[in-house]
Amino acid sequence: MEGKRTIFSGIQPSGELTLGSYLGAIKNWVELSEEYNCYYCIVDMHAITVRQNPAELRKRTLEQLAQYIACGLDPKKNTIFIQSHVSAHAELAWILNCYTMYGELSRMTQFKDKSSRNAENINAGLFTYPALMAADILLYQSDLVPVGDDQKQHVELTRDIAQRFNSVYGEVFKMPEPFIPKVGARIMSLTSPENKMSKSDKDPGGCIYLMQKPEDIMRSFKRAVTDSDRKVKYDPVSKPGVSNLMTIYSVAANKSYDEIEAEFEGKGYGDFKPAVGEAVVELLRPIREEAERLLKDKNYLVSVYKEGAERASRAATRTLRKVCKKVGFVDR
């Protein structure tokens, strides 16, 4: 790991992983994992900012671990772990809460969006979520944070918090950069293409899940919302549904928008939508099959997350000790 730059990223086990989680985040994690020293986390502490069923959260956490590995993340080369197993995350989050401003948190789009969707449970954790995310990233002295477009604002706030802390105490934290993919940074819902495809979406028809069966994937694509124009053309403003399908096809089949427009020239959506569905079925098939195999080997999954937590704890504790000293806590 010596000399390599560091990456941190995580996904909440707040629902089944979607094609959006894969194209916006995990696919890039895999591509970057050879070159960087990577910490990939299952952020279960973030997930409880929205009420979760405990048994389901436990189950999904293990499933998510199996899916990370099935997507191509090698646990020998990457530190894969569960956030709540490394207590430094909660400890640094508290400290950073004291360096994060109320006004900054109030401006976060995700907070505004999630509090309007969960009006009965606007808890303090939902509000201070970005301070925990800053702790996740800064604990590992991360250089790069590969995320989808929706998380860019939180990475920018992380930088502001780090800068504020460093300006008082010296260079404690490295300044992280967001890494946003060029194509696939915001995959939209298939049924309401003005909204992002989200794990916790109440309309399952709008989402494609990594573990979904081929026939269900095909059905969702055939029902995807398009428009009355019948032309396969990339124009996110006036043709959001078709453009979203083109983005998905572009990444799944590794074709440019021009190539896709040429391929479907003179053809209608009746040809286009099943072609996108088939490309996605083939993209996800090996992931689903490998995840199903891994989920039968619970002992292996436990060994991966235990080893991951040990490695992550060692790195995180180094930063936490430094921070505690700087703010004036007595040595343990």
Q: Which residues carry out catalysis?
A: 114, 196, 199
Measure the CA–CA gap between 300 and 220, rounded to whole angstroms. 34
Closest to ligand AQP by CB, 23 vs 283, is 23
- Residue 231 is given by DSSP the state -
Q: Please count the residues of this chain forming the interface with ligand AQP, following the rule CB under 6 A.
A: 23
Work out how close the CB of 43 gets to ligand AQP at its nearest, in angstroms, rounded to a whole number. 6
Which run of H or E residues covers position 37?
A: strand 37-42
142 binds ligand AQP (CB under 6 A): no
Q: What x/- string results for residues 165 through 184 when contact with ligand AQP is judged by CB under 6 A?
A: --------------------
Q: Which is nearer to ligand AQP, 14 or 142 (CB)?
A: 14
Range in contact with ligand AQP (rule: CB under 6 A) among 72-80, 101-109, 191-199, 259-267: 191-199
Assign residue 72 a region: left if phi > 0, alpha if psi is -120 to 50, beta otherwise? left
Selected from 128, 151, 158, 226, the binder of ligand AQP by CB under 6 A is 151
SS3 state at 11: strand
Does residue 128 touch ligand AQP according to CB under 6 A? no
286 vs 19: CA distance, rounded Å? 14
Report d(CA 138, CA 163) in Å as an integer.
11
Nearer to ligand AQP by C-beta: 186 or 326?
186
Please list, in sequence order, all residues whose beta carbon lies within 8 angstroms of the beta carbon of residue 127, skipping any fewer than 6 positions away: 105, 111, 115
For ligand AQP, which is the closer residue by CB, 14 or 97?
A: 14
> Do the Cβ atoms of 130 and 96 come closer than 8 Å?
no
Q: Is 212 in the site for ligand AQP (CB under 6 A)?
A: no
Shortest Å, Cβ 8 to ligand AQP: 11
Give the Cα separation of 267 and 269 in Å (integer): 7
Tell me if 21 contacts ligand AQP by CB under 6 A.
yes
Q: Residues 263, 265, 267, 269: is their CA dihedral positive or negative?
A: positive
- Residues in touch with ligand AQP (CB under 6 A): 11-12, 14-15, 18, 20-21, 23-25, 43, 147-148, 150-151, 185-187, 196-200
